[in-house]
Amino acid sequence: MKLIGYVDKAAGLDATFAALADPTRRAILARLASGAASVMELAEPFEMSQPAISKHLKVLERAGLISRGTDAQRRPRKLEAKPLAEATEWLERYREFWEASFGRLDSLLSELKLSELKKTGLKSAAQNGAVIKNSSPKSRTIQMKTIKHNNRKPGHAGPGRQKK
């Protein structure tokens, strides 16, 4: 049987993930990862009829995740590495972008918090009594919320502003 070609990569990925959504099919793939097997061999570990297993195999075949060997008697199924590798690579890249970015955001935020803390300390000391001294991060936050984002002028740095 021929593999379904990757005419449309997105559609291909869709089929791959749909095929992987079932635990029996994942178990079948795991079994095939250690070598080709006949339908009967594949059905063995599951409490399932051969027709039920055949249905799962069809889904996997349509997704291009497995193919049939040439042995007319056994028609062993074997794993097809390419779509699986593509699905993995693609998903990993997507995650990678956001995880790397958010990881950097963590560092940036702790840096910003630190400079804000310094600034607040200085400000409270300078403005003798004009501003209620906020020592807890929570009350500082409430104060920050009242500052309008769009109306900040350079030099008018409220608590939480970082000088450019």
Partner 1 sequence: MQNFGKLEITTPSDREIAFTRSLDAPRQLVFDAWTKPELLKRWLYGPNGWSLVTCEVDLRAGGRYRYVWHHTNGNEMGMGGVYREVVPPERIVNTQLFDQDWTEGEAVGTLVLTEKDSKTTSVNTVLYATKQARDGALSTPMADGMEMGYVRMDEMFASLAKEAR
Place of tokens 């193919």: 67
Quick check: 80 and 65 in contact, CB under 8 A? yes
* Contacts of residue 63, Cβ cutoff 8 Å, sequence gap at least 6: 4, 12, 15, 16, 18, 19, 83
Q: Which of residues 109-138 bind partner 1 (CB under 8 A)?
A: 109-110, 112-113, 116, 137-138
Q: Using the rule CB under 8 A, is 42 a contact of partner 1?
A: no
Among 104, 121, 122, 133, binds partner 1 (CB under 8 A): 104
Q: How far is the CB of 128 from partner 1 (least distance, A)?
A: 25
Q: Which of residues 54-93 bind partner 1 (CB under 8 A)?
A: 79-81, 84-85, 87-88, 91-92
Q: Alpha helices of the chain — where are they, by DSSP H?
A: 9-20, 23-32, 39-43, 50-62, 81-126, 137-145
Q: Nearest approach, Cβ of 118 to partner 1 (angstroms)? A: 14
30 near partner 1, judged by CB under 8 A = yes
